[in-house]
Each structure stands twice: as C-alpha cells, then as structure tokens.
Structure 1
Amino acid sequence: MFAGTTMLLTAAAQAAEIAAQTGAVPPETGGLPQLNSHHFLPQLFWLAVTFVTLLFVMSKIALPRVGEVLEERRDRIKRDLDAAARLKAETDKALADYEKALSDARTNASGIAKETRERLASETETERHRVDEQIAAKLREAEKRIAGTKSKATSAIGDIATDTARAVVEKLIGQSVTPDEVKKVLRPVAGE
C-alpha cells in the first residue's frame, strides 16, 4: 500500500519538475484553478501527499485508538453480559430458595395448625369428660337427696294419713283411736 503511494508521489513530483523546467506554466486565466488543466499536476501531487499523510495518521494514531475503544467496549459488553448472567443465576437461585422456604413455611404452618387443632380438640374432650363427670356426680347426689326427700315424704304421708284418719274417725264416731290401730287399717289399703 505504501509502495503504490510512494510511486504515485514520485510520479507527481517528477511531473511537477518537468513542468517547471520546460516552462509550461500556463498563463493565468479566469475561472476556478482546480478546473484548469494546467494546475492538475500540482493538485495531484498535493492530493497524494495529503492522502499519504492522512493514511499514516489514520493507521498509526486514529485507527489504533478506535480499535482500542472497540476492544474495550467489546470487553465491557462481555463483562456486563457475564455479570448479568451471574446476577440472573443468583436471582433464580434466590427465588428458588424463597419459593422453597415459603413452601416449607406453609407446610410447617399447616402442621402447627393441625397439631393445635388436635391439641385443642383433646383438651376440649378432656374438659367435656370432666364436666360430664361433675354433672353426673351432681345428678347422683341430687337423686340421692330426692330419694331421701321422697322417702321422708312417703313416711310423712303415712303419718299425715294416720293423723288425718284419726281426726276424721274422732269427728265421725266421736271416739279416740290410737295411731297403731289406724296404721293397721290403712296398711292393707296402701298395699293394694
């Protein structure tokens, strides 16, 4: 590439020298100098010099810097993608751990709720049996009192009936009767 450029520069320099030696300098005419055919050789010479200089600057200074920037950018993008992939993996792992912990917590809560229900049911059943036993004991005691009161009442009924019968007999016949005589008479009637 540089060899072709060097040859072009050499040819342009030689053409400019030949034009200067032969005195082929064109007369000044009006119009644009770049369109004047007598000015083509110096223009080509400076074009070649500018091209070579620009090529040198671009290849030695600008293009390496652009290449470094591109390489740095490529590396940064790769690092960012790697970091993003790593963070995504960590996030996925954390999410899976969270889901597992949540599932374990639900299972644990369900177990605790079941255990609490069973314990409360057991305590309620125990308390119900205790209360049933207290009620049964009070009922037995009340039945004993009722039976005692009933037997007192029945024995008192006999005494009241005897006293009443004595009073009625005394009023009717005018004689006094003993309680034993009234009981003898009332016993066969009470037995029917």
Structure 2
Amino acid sequence: MFMTEAFAQEAGSAGEGHGDPTEGTHSETSGGAGGHEAGFPPFNSEYFPSQLLWLAVTFGVFYWVLKNVLVPRVGGILENRRDRIALDMEAAERAKQDADEAQAAYEQELAEARERAHSIGQDARNDARSEADAQREKLEAELDARIDESRARIVAAKTAAMGEMNEMATDVAETILRDVVKVDVSRTEVASAVAETRG
C-alpha cells in the first residue's frame, strides 16, 4: 500500500517535472510513521464513544439474556430441586411414621404374645397340677384300698390262726386230761376252758 502511494506520488512528481524522486517516499514514510504513532485503536480517544455504545449494547443484551433466559432457567432448576427435596422430605417423614407405627405394632404384638405365652404356661401348670392332684388322689385311694384289703387279710389270717391255735390247744388239753390226768371231760368244756384262759 505504501509502495503504491509512493509510486503514485512519484508519478505525480514526474508529471509535474520537478523535485527529487525520493522526496515523496520520505514524506509518505513520515506520514505513515505519524499515523502509526496514533497507537492501538481501543486506546484512541476518538473511538471511545463507539466503544461505550457497543459496551452498553453488549451489556444490555447480556443483561436481557441473563434476566429472561438464564435466571428463569436456573430459578426453575432450583424450584424443581426444592420441590424434589420437599417431596423427599415428606416421603422420609412418612417412612419414619410408618416405621414408628410398625415398631409400635410389633412391640404390642410381642407383648400380647408374651402375655399369651404366660397364660398358656400358667394354664399348663394348672392343668398339670390338677392332673397330678387327681393322679395323687387316685393313687392314695388305691393305696387305702390295698391297705384296707391287707388289714382285712391280716385280721382274717389272725382270726384263722387264733382259731387253729384254739383248736390245737383244745386238742392238747383234751389229750392231757384224758391220757395223763385220766379225767373224762367233753370237748366242749375243754374248748370253753381254753377260750377263757386265752381271753
């Protein structure tokens, strides 16, 4: 570009027919150097109004996008999470209540089962005691009957033995009176005498 302008100026100078051919080049070069000394365009004060305008436009667009797109979307996400957390909390509370009710029902059933077991054990003990008492009474009755029977047998045996002894004593006394003493007595008198002696 600089070369093209230099050539143009050189051609102009040649058409005019005066001056040094390198004079235009030096002037252009110095002009280009002066334009370059203006600096980086964003730092140039003549561009400040347009930069401020574009900054305001960009900030406005960003604010509009932030307000109408990003914030509602983030708010919706937060609301959904809040609702989900609330539902989870309600579900956890219901689960806790159900667990408490189940535990209370379990404890009540356990207490009732213990009471039934105690009642069954008490009934079993009472039945066993009643059965044992009945068995004991039955055995006592059988023992009493056997004792009475034994006593009767003893009395009968004693009576029989006494009768036999009286008979033997009568025989011996009759034999002695008849053979030794030579006394003639009747058996009835001898039996009466023996009975009186033993009585």
- TM value normalised by structure 1: 0.67
Determine which of 58, 68, 85 is the counterpart of 2:93.
85
Q: Number of aligned pairs? A: 163
Larger radius of gyration: 2
Query: Would the alpha carbon gap of residues 155 and 59 (structure 1) be closer, same or farther in structure 2, given more than 3 Å must change?
Result: same
Aligned to 1:153: 161
Determine which of 138, 146, 149 is the counterpart of 1:130.
138
Structure-1 separation of matches of 2:60 and 2:135: 107
Residues 166 and 182 in structure 1, CA contact (< 8 A), matched pair in contact too: yes
Structure-1 separation of matches of 2:126 and 2:68: 86
Aligned to 2:61: 53
Q: Aligned with 2:89: secondary structure?
A: helix
Query: Would the alpha carbon gap of residues 91 and 69 (structure 1) be closer, same or farther in structure 2, given more than 3 Å must change?
Result: same
Structure 2: 5+ residue stretches without partners: 1-33
Residues 170 and 191 in structure 2, CA contact (< 8 A), matched pair in contact too: yes
Identity %: 33
Q: Is residue 150 of structure 2 the alignment partner of residue 142 of structure 1?
A: yes
Task: Give deviations 1:96-130, integer Å, cap 9, x for gaps.
Answer: 22222222222222222222222222222222212
Determine which of 96, 101, 104 is the counterpart of 1:96.
104
Structure-1 separation of matches of 2:57 and 2:144: 125
Aligned to 2:197: 189
Structure-1 separation of matches of 2:71 and 2:36: 42
- Comparing 40-49 and 60-69, the one that deviates more: 40-49
Aligned to 2:78: 70
Structure-2 separation of matches of 1:179 and 1:152: 23
Structure-2 separation of matches of 1:129 and 1:39: 132
